[in-house]
Structure 1
Amino acid sequence: MKNIILFTICFFAILSSYSQTNDHIQLENSFFKPKKVVKIKNGHYFLDFGKAYFGTIEVTSTQTQSDSLIIHLGEKLISENKIDRKPGATIRYRKSVLPNLKANTPTNVSIKAYKRNTTGDAIMLPDSVGVIIPFRYAEVENLNIPIDNIEFKQKALHAKFNDDASYFSSSNPTMDSIWSLCKHTIKATTFTGYYVDGDRERIPYEADAYINQLSHYSVDSLYTMARRTNAYFINHPTWPTEWLLHTVLMFYTDYMYTGDLKPLEDHYDNLKLKTLMDLERPDGLISSKSPNLTKDIIKKLGFKKPNTKIKDIIDWPPAQKDTGWKLATAEGERDGYEIVDVNTAINAFYYKNMVLMSKIAKALHKPDDAALFSKKAKQVKQTINNTFLDSERGIYIDGEGSKHASLHGNMLPLAFDLVPEEHIASVTKFIKSRGMACSVYGAQYLLEGLYKYDEERYANHLISDTIGDRNWWNMIKVGSTMAMEAWDVKYKPNTDWNHAWGTAPLNAITRYLWGIQPKTPGFKIAQIKPKMGDLTFSKIKTPTQHGIILGNYEKTSAQSSTFTITIPDGMTAEFSIPKPFKKAYLNNKKVKRKVNSVALKSGESIIELVN
């Protein structure tokens, strides 16, 4: 029962002030009727719209009410059918008064703005939109006309989004619920036309945007918002060292999904700066403490204030002095990481930047630069393993001079393919011993490394874990319908309930569990490298710019499984035969014994695997 009214909002004024791309974002208002209406007492009703969206309430009545209506909007309940008026953290609640309700006149409820997300560096909404907040619930008081004569609708603002472009289901209902939570998060958080960090600030941050991008590209083939956000960061970088080092990752991801070289061409020199290669010392490692980090470099990076301090963040939250939180809480998402001047985590990101810049330079026909970046990547990898890898323990320490080993210091080298083959087993064993000792942001790289190196059963377990509160199930359990900024309020006391950087399971399931990624730029050839782990069946629908990829998996016996893959016209795919299968049949024809992958043409292909 959803009515859609499309309207195009032109952001040229905003774009001019930010010197960004002039890509056009089409926003939509969707209207949702309540899933549940409960009479509390005369004139007082509770409404549940099922999911939180950013927006307001539209009220239409067949009768006039001269007395004011009191309307409460919120994300969280304090008890059954009662909105929490003091939800804490950055969980939203607002009380509004609607005077003089006129008959047969759709009326939007006015909401008081939050100063922090409507001033300063926040992405501003056009005046025509008005003030909106994320909410799922409403309470209406002082209603003096029959409720049957009045209609309340949740008026949700979001970017154009194809709900039918993707789906996922499996033999694990918890995993399915979490994937759906993340997909809704991606749609609902598009309300500004940029990837923002959540409702508390509504500011783009590189790490947030990268995870948002990966998840958005996994469920829809509309790439404008990501590209627009990427362009924003050219002149609006943020201060964490690793956030800067996400810039190249975002631009390269867009290139692989779209095949469009223009953003790389337009911003190539800035991307080189964002790798922080100017901070390199002779052995190839970088440090935010480098004397090379001058005011001139700060300015070239895009910072408006020359005294901006770039700091290693490792994981959220930042240091105790920046937060005022107890030390145990402040270090809770870092697994006790010892932040020294030359860090393993920072240099793992730097290595990844060098690898990708070599590919970018090659794509742009810059052979000298491609060779230079490739040479740097080899040097950085060797130095990282010589400096940070404790060969006796077979794990990485946190940085130069440190003796401490953390989850972050090991999951990032694993995710970025830095670990020598002989130490993969020891590194993965150590990672598994740490559990979810990272934030929802760090979980992106934890899951990537685990799936890439055949720990898919453990990765599946982390995604679908329901024990304790350091998991995505806790987000559902506490009542959120979007991914949260942190595992729980107690781990980040100002956390919000609408943060797309918490959607790692969505893109990890699509890109690693199912293994669907572009093998060549523009998705002309897809890579399908499934790692199903303990799932007994699964279905997926994944969009590309050429059309939809469909996948169906069934474990037909203890020793055999079947994949049915449909590739759209104009595309082909490379399907990697997962371990431990020894025999494979493609459309009833036996595949040669030592072949590790098979080529799939457009249309439907059936791959039968036998151990």
Structure 2
Amino acid sequence: MKRNLQFLSIALLTITLIILEACVSSEYSEPPTGLTVECIREPQFTKIIDSQPEFSWIVPQNAVLQTAYQILVASSKDLIDNDKADIWDSGNVSSANSGNVEFGGESLAENTSYFWKVRITDKHNRQSAYSEVQQFTTGAFGDKISSSNFFRIENIKPRSFHRNEDASFFADFGKDAFGTLQIHCSSSSAKTLTIRLGEKLKDGAIDREPGGTIRFAELKMDVVPGVTDYQIELVPDERNTKSVAVALPDSFPVIMPFRYLEIDGAENLQADDVTQLAYFYYFNDNAGSFSSSDSILNQVWDLCKYSQKATSFAGYYVDGDRERIPYEADAYLNQLSHYSVDNEYSIARKTIEYFMDFPTWPTEWQLHVALLFYQDYMYTGNTELIEKYYEPLKYKTLMELEDEDGFISTKSPKLNGEVMAHLGFADTTQRVRDIVDWPQAGGWGAQGEDDGFVFRPINTVVNAMYFRNMEILTEFAELLGKTDEAADFKKRAAKVKKSINQKLYNKEKGYYADGIGTDHGSVHANMFPLAFGVVPEEYKKAVGDYIKTRGVACSVYGAQYLMEAVYEAGADNYALELMNATHDRSWYNMIKVGSTITMEAWDMKYKPNSDWNHAWGAAPANIIPRYMWGIQPKTPGFGEVSINPQMGNLTSSSLELPTLKGKIIADFKQINKNELVYSIELPANMSGEFISEYSNESIELEPGKNEIVLHPN
């Protein structure tokens, strides 16, 4: 009997092991997801213009880490479905790399469709099933690297709809969006409707004189018997359709931003009879999210996130609706916020390439170009733009204007037509000019947003940015194996940093002057050095304290660097006060006055010609994940992440941050004054570090959930 029991135990154990092995095997058969070509999620809707595109995918969470991959590329769906790769079979490649894997077969053909899929091996040497098949289509291979994704049209019905006492109809679509209008309307006799669209209300009706460049349009539309469906025809705006503006696709009608609708002359309309046709670039509404214990901060986040989607209609980062022109500084702020709410990178990459041919005039705008390249590199891990544009990018740093102290100055006699040609200006009689912030005092009757900045030939703001440019070029040169140039850039960075701190910092008063030859210390002369790493550790508190005394003495553009600076100074409570403020120089003021997209200025009185659809005003969309939560890529492409939260007096917060490797999901709760609990879930194939002032050492983060409990006291 005992022997039989032993056999039974062995049999049961064997069955259990078989079941467990089957469960494990089944668990690890989950395939990769999130496939992209050239960092584009649905490449079948666009043209891939790189003959050797890069493939990326998301490693399944239960694989934890990838140790190998195999990519198949075929010329037909039938072949790829049968695991046959007539175009390229990578073979089983031992690598943890799940992003930017370059096509390794013979060159692809132009204007041809292909199909690909991938499988991976996990850290326990278990191979997954193949991913779903993704189609991509090539276009004409040209000198550009980036290719566009695609546009979507959303049919939006009114949030509210009613008939007015004068028999006209009113609709509120809930949010401002770039688009046009469809109407379902029948009539027994010919008639003419009067249609009004607008972004702003006044006394319960559309404001017909909204001021600035806030949009309003009125038009007539004929209705005839037997026809029930109409699409209005808007008149093109003279300013945003000039030759210098970004042209919209030929398939687009004339579009304008509007939220509200009024119709006069219709007999009987219902809410379902009117549709806002809103045009957006590809955008995943569910990619990024945020919530916290602060209701105002939550509303500010929603405003700033939607601003990324709403202003994407042009396929480039443009200056809102007034000119529809890309500007380097606007684009950089747009890029930071867009990357923070959606893992969509093609708009930024297209815009970066645009700037190499079409620069704009402000000095600091040129110095933003290297910043654009750097963020694209860090968020995607892709090096193609750097490799292609490294030489012209060096000119964008304005290093040709450097003097013996390491400073650059646009008052230098070195600024000539040759330098302007190097920057990409077709008209080499132009000259770049220092801007600091915008608008400057006197423009459009505005008081200006530069905190009384005293412009001197040697400018602190410009040179703080130049220092950061030299740091970036050092890294790029090292990446490309240009060791001598890397050493030169590093030397230049050290030199200008030393000069700024020796010649522009007032140790007695604890602030940086605007430039050599003035004692005036604007908020700009202090927030830019802090934001760009110029300020030594021993000066940070004093500079941070000084910044607090200046208040919000900058524009919505400058607010990006104000926020970065106060977080760099460790002033997280002050940073939170800035983001949840309700005065007229706040993001909440934009909500309060009725805008659903961030405005070009804090309020119309600060820039009377401003608009209500400007993404450069959306800094909290990136400041919250990058600084409040402190989540930034430690290595290019988020192979490793660094998380250094500064929550201020929030008692709870949750965040979902999209990356090319998958979502980072973070949660924070303050249990009591002596217990802070963080839950950080990293996607597979990503590791990281958690840094806190309440911990003596950084905490290692692994793929999957990481629970961290801190005790401040």
TM superposition score normalised by structure 2: 0.79
Q: How does 1:255-294 map to 2 (within 5 A)?
A: 255-294=377-416
Determine which of 655, 663, 667 is the counterpart of 1:552. Answer: 667
Q: How does 1:460-539 map to 2 (within 5 A)?
A: 460-466=576-582, 468-539=583-654
1:350 maps to a residue whose letter is Y
- Aligned pair in 2 of structure 1 residues 105, 7: CA closer, same or farther (>3 Å)? farther
- Aligned pair in 2 of structure 1 residues 313, 104: CA closer, same or farther (>3 Å)? same
Q: How does 1:131-170 map to 2 (within 5 A)?
A: 131-144=254-267, 146-148=268-270, 151-170=273-292
Displacement of 1:64 after TM fit?
A: 6.3
Asked if the contact 1:397–1:405 (Cα under 8 Å) also holds between the matched residues in 2, the reply is yes
Q: How does 1:8-407 map to 2 (within 5 A)?
A: 21=145, 23-41=147-165, 43-61=167-185, 66-80=190-204, 82-100=205-223, 106-144=229-267, 146-148=268-270, 151-318=273-440, 320=442, 323-325=443-445, 329-331=446-448, 333-407=449-523
Asked if the contact 2:511–2:526 (Cα under 8 Å) also holds between the matched residues in 1, the reply is yes
2:240 counterpart SS class: helix
Q: Per-residue displacement from partner, 1:352-395 (whole Å, max 9, x unpaired)?
A: 10011111111122111111111110001001111111122121
- Aligned pair in 2 of structure 1 residues 477, 103: CA closer, same or farther (>3 Å)? farther
Which entry has the higher C-alpha Rg, 1 or 2?
A: 2
- Match in the other structure for 2:685: 570
Asked if the contact 1:63–1:149 (Cα under 8 Å) also holds between the matched residues in 2, the reply is no
- Match in the other structure for 2:537: 421
- Match in the other structure for 1:588: none
1:601 maps to a residue whose letter is E
- Match in the other structure for 1:438: 554
- Aligned pair in 2 of structure 1 residues 353, 67: CA closer, same or farther (>3 Å)? same
Take 2:353 and 2:570, find their aligned partners in 1: how far apart are those partners? Answer: 35
Displacement of 1:107 after TM fit?
A: 2.4
Unaligned runs of 5+ in 1: 1-5, 583-593
Indicate whether 1:598 and 2:699 are aligned.
Answer: yes
Take 1:362 and 1:216, find their aligned partners in 2: how far apart are those partners? Answer: 28
Displacement of 1:274 after TM fit?
A: 0.1
Displacement of 1:62 after TM fit?
A: 5.8
Asked if the contact 2:157–2:272 (Cα under 8 Å) also holds between the matched residues in 1, the reply is no
2:561 counterpart SS class: helix
Give the number of equivalent residue pairs: 580
Asked if the contact 1:34–1:153 (Cα under 8 Å) also holds between the matched residues in 2, the reply is yes
- Match in the other structure for 1:590: none
Please, which moves more after superposition, 108-117 or 225-234?
A: 108-117
Take 2:361 and 2:605, find their aligned partners in 1: how far apart are those partners? Answer: 25
- Aligned pair in 2 of structure 1 residues 78, 374: CA closer, same or farther (>3 Å)? same
Determine which of 534, 547, 567 is the counterpart of 1:451. Answer: 567
1:337 counterpart SS class: coil
Q: Per-residue displacement from partner, 1:284-325 (whole Å, max 9, x unpaired)?
A: 0000111111101101211111111211001001353xx352
Displacement of 1:451 after TM fit?
A: 1.1
1:462 counterpart SS class: helix
Take 1:150 and 1:313, find their aligned partners in 2: how far apart are those partners? Answer: 48
Displacement of 1:70 after TM fit?
A: 1.3
Take 2:255 and 2:215, find their aligned partners in 1: how far apart are those partners? Answer: 11
1:221 maps to a residue whose letter is N
Take 2:48 and 2:558, find their aligned partners in 1: how far apart are those partners? Answer: 33
- Aligned pair in 2 of structure 1 residues 74, 7: CA closer, same or farther (>3 Å)? farther
Asked if the contact 1:123–1:203 (Cα under 8 Å) also holds between the matched residues in 2, the reply is yes
Displacement of 1:33 after TM fit?
A: 0.4
- Aligned pair in 2 of structure 1 residues 102, 166: CA closer, same or farther (>3 Å)? farther
1:55 maps to a residue whose letter is G
Q: Per-residue displacement from partner, 1:559-578 (whole Å, max 9, x unpaired)?
A: 011001111111112111x2
- Give the RMSD, CA atoms, in angstroms: 2.0
1:308 counterpart SS class: coil
Take 2:144 and 2:232, find their aligned partners in 1: how far apart are those partners? Answer: 33
Displacement of 1:25 after TM fit?
A: 2.7
1:30 maps to a residue whose letter is E
Displacement of 1:414 after TM fit?
A: 0.9
Displacement of 1:452 after TM fit?
A: 2.0
Displacement of 1:20 after TM fit?
A: 5.1
Displacement of 1:120 after TM fit?
A: 2.5
Unaligned runs of 5+ in 2: 1-42, 50-138
2:605 counterpart SS class: helix
Q: Per-residue displacement from partner, 1:430-465 (whole Å, max 9, x unpaired)?
A: 100011000000000010011122101000000100
Take 2:247 and 2:239, find their aligned partners in 1: how far apart are those partners? Answer: 11
Please, which moves more after superposition, 235-244 or 125-134?
A: 125-134
Q: Per-residue displacement from partner, 1:27-63 (whole Å, max 9, x unpaired)?
A: 0000110010121136411100000000011112466
Asked if the contact 1:456–1:531 (Cα under 8 Å) also holds between the matched residues in 2, the reply is yes
Asked if the contact 2:200–2:595 (Cα under 8 Å) also holds between the matched residues in 1, the reply is yes
Please, which moves more after superposition, 310-319 or 219-228?
A: 310-319
1:127 counterpart SS class: coil
Take 1:453 and 1:273, find their aligned partners in 2: how far apart are those partners? Answer: 31
Please, which moves more after superposition, 99-108 or 37-46?
A: 99-108
Q: Per-residue displacement from partner, 1:396-421 (whole Å, max 9, x unpaired)?
A: 10001111111000111111121122
1:165 counterpart SS class: coil
Please, which moves more after superposition, 123-132 or 492-501?
A: 123-132
- Match in the other structure for 1:412: 528
Displacement of 1:558 after TM fit?
A: 1.0
Percent of counterpart pairs with the same letter? 46
- Aligned pair in 2 of structure 1 residues 546, 22: CA closer, same or farther (>3 Å)? closer
- Aligned pair in 2 of structure 1 residues 19, 486: CA closer, same or farther (>3 Å)? farther
1:68 counterpart SS class: strand
Take 1:23 and 1:373, find their aligned partners in 2: how far apart are those partners? Answer: 31
Take 2:626 and 2:271, find their aligned partners in 1: how far apart are those partners? Answer: 49
Take 1:84 and 1:419, find their aligned partners in 2: how far apart are those partners? Answer: 47
TM superposition score normalised by structure 1: 0.92
Asked if the contact 2:283–2:309 (Cα under 8 Å) also holds between the matched residues in 1, the reply is yes
- Aligned pair in 2 of structure 1 residues 449, 69: CA closer, same or farther (>3 Å)? same
Take 1:31 and 1:367, find their aligned partners in 2: how far apart are those partners? Answer: 54
Asked if the contact 1:61–1:149 (Cα under 8 Å) also holds between the matched residues in 2, the reply is no
2:663 counterpart SS class: strand
Q: Per-residue displacement from partner, 1:206-264 (whole Å, max 9, x unpaired)?
A: 00000000000001111000000011000111100000000000001000000111100
Take 2:48 and 2:401, find their aligned partners in 1: how far apart are those partners? Answer: 36
1:136 maps to a residue whose letter is R
